[in-house]
Amino acid sequence: MRTEERGASGGLWPASLGWLLVNRFQVALYVLFLPDVLIHPYMIWIILLVGVLSHFNLRILSKWLQTEEARLGYEGFVRVLGGRAVRLLAVPAAVVILLESSILTLDYLEVSHHVLFPSVSKLTFLPLLWLASVYLASQGMILTGRFVIIAFIGSLWIMTLFLQFLFPPVADYAMLLPLVPQKWDDNIPYILLTLWAAMAGPQYLAFTGSRFASTSGMFRWLALGNALSVLEYVVFFLAVTLAFGPEYMRKLDYPVVQLVRYIELPFFERLETIVVPFHMIVYIFLDAFFILILRDVLRIATGNAGQAKGFFGLAAVLWLVFIYLFGKYFWASETRHLFWIHFNSWLTGAAYALVPSFLALAALWRKRKRKRS
């Protein structure tokens, strides 16, 4: 598209954009909801543990991104996996992308609907969000990637509002005790999975290797993004625990949003009417990103991988129709929607664990094969 050329004039993405991308991907869903498994104060160690595991996973991802094949885009995937395999994987990939972005978006719209406009259906917000995402996506992947800077600034300030809850007199540190319990919760594996899924998201960067101007030193940036996400989770978790207390927190649906409603600034009260809409910018960015990946996947699936144009309209409309129908028929009641969130945990958790390792191993195997021959 002509806009693809526009983006190229400012240059491809610098490697340092990686940290913003990783951070916004990781923080997207769970900041507003804070996984309902975080019920004890000592869960903070589990957050840190998952952060460390994610750190190592990102090392594998950066190894993949630094190979030559990742930098080539579609060509590189064909070289590593074979043309037929890539085409075969395209269809399940499309389904995964559609499901993940539907769940992500519908969850956010659920919060918007619940908190701001209880009598307006979420399906009214959806086409508007879609319009903004499509507008962004129509500018091409390079410009969309750059937009993460704006998305970051637009949503990071929310964390600063929570810092007031970390200090006395509002905070009663006794609520945090005991921090190192003798008896841990029974559900540790499930908790680990949910938190791992919360940190998932950067695996999609594996498909954008060709947009980076250079990937040397990539790991540094990915790790920085990861560290910032962990910090954000810890701050939100601490603020919520200190403000509500562990038992009360368990009873609330969206503890973070409820806490935002409690903030009182000199001229402003009820800040959730500003915070929840501002969070939309992250979702618009993510949805645009997903629409563009969907477009590429559709091109591959229909065998038109070499084309530089086309399939964008199809991807955009397909995305909208899928989410609209999904939202209308599969998202009706709260129990349904809890099921989808758990499903999403499994889906993204598996993707985050498998995709970087799979690709890195495949590249390594190919390199070994080439060395041998």
Partner 1 sequence: MRWLMRLFASLRNASGTGEERGNSGAPVRGSDLENLKRAFQNIHDAEFVEIENERLGKVTLLYIRSLIDIKQLQEFVIAPLQRESGTDLRDIVHAAHLTALDNSEQAETAAFKGAVILHAGGRLWSVSLSSALNRAVEPSKQEAVIHGPQDSFTEQVENNLTLIRRRLAVSSLKSERFLVGGLSHTTVILLYIENLTNPELVRIAREKTAAVHSDAFFDSSHLSQFLEDHIHSVFPQFQQTDRPDAVAAALASGKVVWLVENTPFALIAPITFFDLFQSPEDYIHRWPVASFLRGMRFFAFLFAMVLTPFYVAITMHHYQMVPLDLLFVVLESRSEIPFNPFWEALFMMLVLEILKEASLRMPSKSGQTLGIVGGIVIGQAGVEANITSNLLIIHVAVTAIASFLIPNYLMTNSSKLIQFGLLGLAAWLGLWGITLGLILVLIHLNGLTSLKQPYFAPLTPFYGMDWKDTIVRLPLRWMPRRPAYLKPLDPCRMKSGNSRPEKKG
Partner 2 sequence: MRFIIALGLTLMLAGCSWLDPATNVLEEISPTILLYLDAGGSGEETESTIVLPAVKNEKKQVVTARGWSLKEHRQKLTFGHSREFKSGQLRMLFFSEELARRGIIRHLNTMLLDQEISNRLYMAVVRGDFAGFLREQILLQKNYDRILYKMFRHYENMMTVQNLHMFLKDYYSSYADPNLPLFAVRGDQLVYTGTALFRDDRMVADVPAEMDCFFQMVDSEHGSFPAVTMPDLEVVLGKVTTSRGISYDDERGVVITLHVEGQVDEYGGDKNLGDPREAEQFIRDVKEDLEERVRGLIRSWQKLSIDPARIGLSTLTLFRERFPGGEWRRRWPEIPVTVRVDLGLTNLGMIKPVE
What angle (nearest 5°) sits at the alpha carbon of residue 314, between those of residues 312 and 317? 110
248 binding partner (options partner 2, partner 1, none; Cβ < 5 to 8 Å by kind): partner 2
What angle (nearest 5°) sits at the alpha carbon of residue 117, between those of residues 111 and 123? 70
Nearest CA among 341, 314, 317, 282 for reference residue 110? 341
Asked if 20 and 225 touch (Cβ cutoff 8 Å), the reply is yes
3 binding partner (options partner 1, partner 2, none; Cβ < 5 to 8 Å by kind): partner 1
Closest distance to partner 1 from the beta carbon of 262 (Å): 13
136 lines the binding site for partner 1 (CB under 8 A): yes
Contacts of 164 (CB under 8 A, 6+ apart): 170, 263
Q: How many residues bind partner 2 (CB under 8 A)?
A: 45
263 lines the binding site for partner 1 (CB under 8 A): no
68 binding partner (options partner 2, partner 1, none; Cβ < 5 to 8 Å by kind): none
132 lines the binding site for partner 1 (CB under 8 A): yes
Q: Which of residues 233-252 bind partner 2 (CB under 8 A)?
A: 243-245, 247-248, 251
**Single residue of 45, 56, 117, 173 touching partner 1 by CB under 8 A:** 117
Distance CA 330, CA 218 (A): 39
**Single residue of 52, 278, 313, 354 touching partner 2 by CB under 8 A:** 313
**Single residue of 172, 187, 213, 354 touching partner 2 by CB under 8 A:** 172
- Measured N-to-C along each axis, helices 272-301 and 83-115 cross at an angle, to the nearest 10 degrees, of 160
- Measured N-to-C along each axis, helices 83-115 and 255-262 cross at an angle, to the nearest 10 degrees, of 40
Closest distance to partner 1 from the beta carbon of 289 (Å): 13
Q: What is the secondary structure of 98-152 as a DSSP string? A: HHHHHHHHHHHHHHHHHHT-TTS-HHHHHHHHHHHHHHHHTT-HHHHHHHHHHHH
CB nearer to partner 2: pick between 187 and 214: 187
Residue 13 phi, psi (nearest 5)? -65, 135
Neighbours of 148 (CB within 10 A): 24
**Single residue of 23, 57, 67, 112 touching partner 1 by CB under 8 A:** 112
Question: Given the rule CB under 8 A, which residues bind partner 2?
Answer: 114-115, 117-121, 123-128, 130-131, 134, 138, 168-169, 172, 174-175, 177-182, 243-245, 247-248, 251, 258, 261-262, 264, 269-270, 313, 316-317, 320, 324
Site residues, partner 1 (CB under 8 A): 3, 6, 9-11, 14, 16-17, 112, 116-117, 120, 125, 128-129, 132, 135-136, 139, 143, 146-147, 149-150, 154, 267-270, 273-274, 276-278, 280-281, 284
